[in-house]
Amino acid sequence: MEAEDSSQLHEVNDVQSHNCQSDETIQQPSQDATISNATPQCSLTGSKAPPPYQGVYLHPDYMHYNPQYGQPQNAPVWSLAQPLPHVMRSGMMSREDQDQDTEAAAKRPNAHQDQSPAADEPPTEHPPHNDDLNPEKDTPEARVAKPDERGFFNKWGEIRHKFREPLAEWLGTTIAMTLGLCAGLQTYTSQNQAGSFPSLAPAWGFAFMIAIYMAGGVSGGHLNPAITISMAVWRGFPAKKCMVYVAAQIVGGITAGGIAYALYHDAIVESSVSNHVAQSESLARQALLTAPKAFVHPVTAFFNEFVGTAILVGTIMALGDDTNAPPGAGMQAFILGILIGVLVLALGYNTGGCFNCARDFGPRLVALMAGWGGQLFRENHAWWIWGPWAADITGGLCGTFIYDLAIFTGSESPINYPRRRRKRALLIKEKNLMRKFRFGRRKIRDVERAVWEVEQ
């Protein structure tokens, strides 16, 4: 009898050790493994980040009731808070490489089934404990805290899992712009009694730093359509996600504009009444909207935004380049906060220092809904289009182009494609566009032959 009890006890211990690591295992990783995996660090930026669970307490049953925690992230994350991922793009791969990948996939079972990235799949439930087979634990009270068979506690958990990235991007943009807009409204409505332009610049910088720390590990914390579009063109960020991110950032800008306007509505009214002007002409306008000064030439205003965004996005690519000199763990967001503050200080006077399409469009739409008039979208020859959108997006693309042309050596950038494969990538995009819009489909039948004809 004692032998049977001892054998059952050993089985339970084995299952529990398989299900979740002990506190000592999590908090104190093997010293031999640390030594064997260590690599010499000869950089002034410091060593690599520690393991994600080092020093974090986990209850022995925590993993059982929270199966989503600690799931490996197999999908790349283009985050501003860590080095950018290295991916293989279709333009870099030759036709022979793609044929080999197709043959290898055909040899695997279920190769022709639709496969989605591991990050998009719902997390699986952790293997059950032996104690879970106990009928006493099958009561309604015991089942309350258990996730369902897909690892979700409720319906919202499933919805959040599907839209976690755009939700994080929306929340980060909302937080960053709410803090920045409120700092501006406080400064201008108080007529510089509760702030000044030199204090407004670091407020915008550290507002985006906080937002990147909040959303960087989930969505990447782009918070700017110019950054997202530049990532898609030069670093392989998925084009389908690009539009979703831009939409989330615009919605975040609208949300932030509404919150800031509601919080400072009384101050805006007081400022307009004391100066005997309409709200749309009050000092609050300078905080909510960006616009070139009356003496600034349109070309100067365009290139003011162009150069500022080029420096911003080019520096982001440099911070994410692990072959250059990336900062230590967790320092990217802090450096970007300082950079944004410097850009506002150096280039913010001529146009208001936008450098972000959503930063201008969201509050401008809120001001329109507040009754400031439709002239907001017509003034300065529709500045909101050729300034915050056209200048910022082209500036971000150009800034990354210059960095890749001068420094970056990764194969993600089209700058580093071989000459033949660059032509092949352009022809593939042209063919895909023809197929999508259903015109000229017979012009490019064989891409490889078309490339050969171009080279002759």
- pLDDT of amino acid 328: 79
Reported as a single tens digit per residue, the pLDDT across 144-202 is 555 665 677 788 888 998 999 999 999 999 999 999 999 999 999 998 898 899 999 99
Give residues with Cβ within 8 angstroms of 138, minimum separation 6.
none
Q: Taking the domain 155-407, which CATH number applies?
A: 1.20.1080.10
Alpha-carbon span 81 to 84, nearest angstrom? 9
Q: 228 near 397, Cβ under 8 Å? A: no
- pLDDT of amino acid 116: 44
Q: Is 109 exposed, middle or buried, given 0-12, 13-18 or 19+ CB atoms closer than 10 A?
A: exposed
Percent of residues, the chain, with pLDDT higher than 90: 50
- pLDDT of amino acid 420: 73
Say whether pLDDT at 262 is over 80.
yes
Say whether pLDDT at 37 is over 60.
no
Reported as a single tens digit per residue, the pLDDT across 46-73 is 444 444 455 678 788 777 777 767 676 6
- pLDDT of amino acid 147: 62
Q: So where are the chain's domains?
A: 155-407, 419-453
* Two tokens, residue 338: 């300082």
Reported as a single tens digit per residue, the pLDDT across 189-208 is 998 898 899 999 999 999 99
Residue 25 confidence class, pLDDT cut points 50, 70, 90:
very low
Classify each residue of 28-67 as buried b or exposed e, where b means 16 or more C-beta atoms within 10 Å of its C-beta.
Answer: eeeeeeeeeeeeeeeeeeeeeeeeeeeeeebeeeebbebb
- pLDDT of amino acid 252: 97
347 or 453, which is more confident?
Answer: 347
155 or 132, which is more confident?
Answer: 155
Mean pLDDT of 417-436: 74
* Two tokens, residue 359: 């930063």
Looking at every residue in the chain, the average pLDDT score rounds to 79
Residue 456 confidence class, pLDDT cut points 50, 70, 90:
low
CA 381 to chain centre: 32
Reported as a single tens digit per residue, the pLDDT across 216-241 is 999 999 999 999 999 999 999 998 89
State which of 20-24, 48-52, 346-350, 414-418 shows the largest mean pLDDT: 346-350
Alpha-carbon span 7 to 178, nearest angstrom? 61
pTM: 0.74
